[in-house]
């Protein structure tokens, strides 16, 4: 095996009028090196102007998501040896504006995420003690935890948004990660906000915008299954529509 491998990195400098270009670097090909290690080598030893995001290097923070060989991946968990003899092409995630080089602008996701209220909603007045404090704990059984645990593993890496053809075509679509996080709280036995989230996601830009391609689930590094969450929400939305049509207003 060669001792080096070529890394082709998409470069974009907003302070210049030139379009994005591919720049090639020769990096060591080591068995334990990931694509992120190679990028850090370039940054530290070759070209300090290269811009990209990373933090934990352990597949937890989600910040190092990029397109590697055309597929959205966490670069901290993608090994160079998988692409030998190379070259390895690294680009920013698709479907997002690029700030510089491999750094994307996540503002659209950050604006949409609060719409689905990804937090526990309760009527806490019923469980307050005399001092206005929460009276006791919200205990859960292992089975209740297991019901939502899968969807709680989302790390907001944006790989599912980069893989989603619907989000690429319709910027109003709230997107797979947001819907998966809504389902996470709907399934939480401590939560009482399912109706509020459904009111948001039953709209066209919610779950009905999804055409069920399934790429969001395929690329998820934490096996969250956003596509499954969307289908579950479609079922809830359909049931609510039937209920609203059949039952009188006071009986819903």
Q: Tell me the domains of the chain and their CATH numbers.
A: 4-104 (3.10.20.30), 107-251 (1.10.1060.10)
Record the pTM.
Answer: 0.90
183-234 pLDDT tens trace: 999 999 999 999 999 999 998 899 999 999 999 999 999 999 999 999 999 9
118-172 pLDDT tens trace: 999 987 655 556 666 666 677 899 999 999 999 999 999 999 999 999 999 998 9
| pLDDT in the model for residue 252 | 52
Could you tell me the pLDDT band of residue 241, with boundaries at 50, 70 and 90? confident
Q: Can you list the pairs that 240-245 forms with residues at least 24 positions away whose Cβ atoms lie under 8 Å?
A: 240/198, 240/202, 241/202
| pLDDT in the model for residue 155 | 96
| pLDDT in the model for residue 250 | 53
More confident residue, 103 or 247: 103
21-67 pLDDT tens trace: 999 999 999 999 999 999 999 999 999 999 999 999 999 999 999 99
| pLDDT in the model for residue 187 | 96
| pLDDT in the model for residue 128 | 57
| pLDDT in the model for residue 15 | 85
| pLDDT in the model for residue 245 | 78
Q: Angle, nearest 10°, between helix axes 194-201 and 176-186? A: 160
Two tokens at 215? Answer: 């790429």
| pLDDT in the model for residue 248 | 65
> Hey, how many other C-beta atoms are within 10 angstroms of the C-beta on 239?
11
| pLDDT in the model for residue 138 | 79
Q: Concatenated DSSP letters for 179-228?
A: HHHHHHHHT-TT---HHHHHHHHTSTTTGGG-----HHHHH-TT---HHH
* Measured distance CA(144)–CA(147) in Å, rounded: 5
| pLDDT in the model for residue 246 | 81
| pLDDT in the model for residue 183 | 96
Residue with the two structure tokens 């989302």: 154
| pLDDT in the model for residue 139 | 84
4-17 pLDDT tens trace: 999 999 999 988 87
| pLDDT in the model for residue 136 | 65
Two tokens at 89? Answer: 């092409």
């Amino acid at each position: 095996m060669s001792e080096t491998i070529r890394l082709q990195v998409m470069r974009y400098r907003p302070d210049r009028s030139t379009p994005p270009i591919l720049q090639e670097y020769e990096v060591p090909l080591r068995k334990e090196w990931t694509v992120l290690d190679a990028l850090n080598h370039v940054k530290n030893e070759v070209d300090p102007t290269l811009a990209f995001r990373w933090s934990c290097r352990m597949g937890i923070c989600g910040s190092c998501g990029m397109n590697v060989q055309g597929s959205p991946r966490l670069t901290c968990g993608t090994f160079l040896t998988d692409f030998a003899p190379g070259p390895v092409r690294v680009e920013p995630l698709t479907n997002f504006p690029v700030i510089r080089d491999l750094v994307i602008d996540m503002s659209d996701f950050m604006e949409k995420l609060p719409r689905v209220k990804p937090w526990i909603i309760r009527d806490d007045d019923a469980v307050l003690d005399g001092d206005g404090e929460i009276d006791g704990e919200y205990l859960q059984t292992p089975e209740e935890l297991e019901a939502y645990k899968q969807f709680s593993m989302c790390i907001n890496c944006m790989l599912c948004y980069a893989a989603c053809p619907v989000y690429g075509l319709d910027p109003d679509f709230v997107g797979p990660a947001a819907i998966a996080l809504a389902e996470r709280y709907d399934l939480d036995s401590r939560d009482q906000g399912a109706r509020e989230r459904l009111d948001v996601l039953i709209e066209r830009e919610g779950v009905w915008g999804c055409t069920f391609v399934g790429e969001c689930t395929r690329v998820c590094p934490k096996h969250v299954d956003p596509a499954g969450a969307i289908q579950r929400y479609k079922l809830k939305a359909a049931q609510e529509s039937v209920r609203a049509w059949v039952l009188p207003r006071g009986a819903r």
